[in-house]
Amino acid sequence: MFLQRTIRKKVTVKGIGLHTGEPSTVTFRPAPRGTGIFVVRTDLPGSPSILVQAEHVRATQMATTLGSPVFSVSTVEHCLSSLAAFRIDNLFIELSGPEIPIGDGSAYVFMEALLSSGFVEQDEPRRYAYINQPIFYGDGEKHAYVLPYNGLRVTCTIEFPHNVIGRQRFDLDINETSFIRELSQARTFGFLKDVEAMRAKGLARGGSLENAVVLDQGGVMNPEGLRYPDEFVRHKMLDALGDLVTLGMPMMGHLVLYKAGHDVMNRLVRKILESPESYRHIELGAPSLLGAQSDRSLWPIGS
């Protein structure tokens, strides 16, 4: 039986917001079974909350922002990617301001916090969205689609006109071990030539060489260099995993991305939810899946 999961005890991460540049504190708290993932703004009167779902995505420029008529919270994707990798179903994410702290620009601080807390299985089966037909979304040359697959796999391709990046492709079966080893420390990145324009729009005010890979015409400006030779495409895959959490349930399928950022991911997730004929809910190990219907008829095909 694949049971729902939360964390064992509360744990806190402190830092600054990448775009606001303001101090920020996030506390992860266990949530009861069947709750889902909620973001709570503890700094606002009444501590308003919002469920992490695609319909609540309000902006996708440079980061994913969730919002309601009362409040918003931005740069959620790095934090959420760890929840996807560790299959955390129920959690309260309590935040002291409008932006999740950036840490070192990767998912590492969130991964470490969650691992230090530990995990608890809850007495309720986890419900998966099992992709049984391809679902595609495209916007010009940018596109993303999902295919049936026995597990969760991501194939990501990016292309930037910079000699350090160029065209990069990475393919990975996602589980706790592969996320920790291959993705968790991949940092966000940006180009020095764009910094002034971003800051004029109120973005990247907290950005520095401490929390992002920055490139100028000569190459990588960070004195320590890259953590992976293809750190750029790995970070894009990390972002996509975080955005996938807005599906509202873990997915079983193969996600394929080509030049796809937050906007394309949000549109793909919405299209999945709008295509009930292309996926079905399953509870792995549940007795209803093992009887006369034949377990093979309900498991993904191809790998």
Two tokens, residue 20:
């606001």
- Arithmetic mean of pLDDT, 248-274: 97
Is residue 303 very low, low, confident or very high in pLDDT (cuts 50, 70, 90)?
A: very low
Q: How confident is the model at residue 1 (pLDDT cuts 50, 70, 90)?
A: low
Nearby residues of 291 by Cβ (< 8 Å), 6 or more positions away: none
267-281 pLDDT tens trace:
999 999 999 999 999
Kindly calculate the radius of gyration of the chain based on its CA atoms and give it in whole angstroms.
19
Count of C-beta atoms within a 10 Å radius of residue 191: 14
What would the mean pLDDT of 214-241 be, rounded to a whole number? Answer: 97
**Taking 50 as the threshold, does the pLDDT of residue 170 lie above it?**
yes
Average pLDDT over residues 134-156: 97
CB 122 within 8 A of CB 36: no
Question: If you average pLDDT over residues 236-265, what whole number do you get?
Answer: 98
17-21, 181-185, 247-251, 288-292: range with lowest mean pLDDT: 288-292
pLDDT above 90 for 200: no
- Averaged pLDDT for residues 247-265: 97
| 281 part of the active site | no
Is 161's pLDDT higher than 60? yes
By DSSP bridging, strand 142-147 and strand 37-41 are unpaired
pTM for the whole structure = 0.91
Please give the Cα distance from 5 to 119 (Å, whole number): 7
71-125 pLDDT per residue, tens: 999 999 999 999 999 999 999 999 999 999 999 999 999 999 999 999 999 999 9
Q: How far apart are CA 191 and CA 214, in angstroms?
A: 6
What pLDDT is stored for residue 48 in this prediction? 97
The string of DSSP letters for the chain reads --EEEEESS-EEEEEEBTTT--EEEEEEEE--TT--EEEEETTSTT--EEE--GGGEEE-SSS-EEE-SS-EEE--HHHHHHHHHTT---EEEEESSSB-B-TTSSSHHHHHHHHHH-EEEEEEE--EEEE-S-EEEEETTEEEEEE--SSEEEEEEEEESSTTTEEEEEEEE-SHHHIIIIITTPPPEEEHHHHHHHHHTT-STT--TTTSEEEETTEE--TT--SSTTHHHHHHHHHHHHHHGGGSS-EEEEEEEES--HHHHHHHHHHHHT-GGGEEEE-TT-GGGSSTT-GGGGS----
The residue that leads in pLDDT, 206 or 119, is 119
pLDDT at 297: 31
CA torsion angle 219 262 4 153 (round to 10)? -60
pLDDT at position 299: 32
List the catalytic residue out of 19, 235, 254, 262.
Answer: 262
